[in-house]
Amino acid sequence: MSTLEEVNNGTWFNRDMVKEESVILNKALLTDTQLEYLLQKWDEIVKIDNVIDNRIVGNIDIPPDFIKDWCMKLEQYILINKIYPVGGIKKYKYGGIKEHSDALYYDSELDINSTYTLLIYLSDDEGGETAIKRKKYRVIDDDANMKHERIYVKPRKGYCVLFNSKLKHFANDSYDGKLILHTRIY
């Protein structure tokens, strides 16, 4: 049995559980330099004021050296063919996101569909937890944050959450304005 603390610091996951559990990872990913760069890009997007519903959205090109670094950090958990080099960046001004699963994208060069969603938190947030429905039921513990076969992950600046794109997930109400970068992994 794993505790919520183990889930939230990333020690619960290992490569053998990828196929069984499909919820892979919650751990620190960004260096301070990477975080600073992404926040600077975010400031450029905000100046354009791309507001859709309750979100400010935009896309950024992810530098190749970031992708190389992230692959090295993540490949101990999953097989990575490619991290898509464009990230969607969003700030939720209020509210949450309804339950959904992410689309699978085809890569003609690799002749495969995307497999994983990679969310990277660029801010801390009071509220705004990402809730991911597990593929298989497994009791983790009695913690109130572990209900209905879901894992709730608290947004922490510089941390990533990696999970199978087919899994249903949603975001609880954000109070501080959650800022995330998301992309896909093949």
Task: Evaluate whether the domain defined by 22-185 bears CATH number 3.40.50.10170.
Answer: no
The Cα angle at residue 83 between residues 21 and 108, in degrees rounded to 5: 100
pTM comes to 0.78
Chain-centroid distance, C-alpha 106: 20
Taking CA atoms, 15 is separated from 6, 27, 152, in Å, by 15, 14, 20
pLDDT digits (tens, 9 = 90+) for 91-148: 876 677 888 889 889 999 999 999 899 999 999 888 888 888 876 544 334 443 444 5
Provide the pLDDT for residue 140: 38
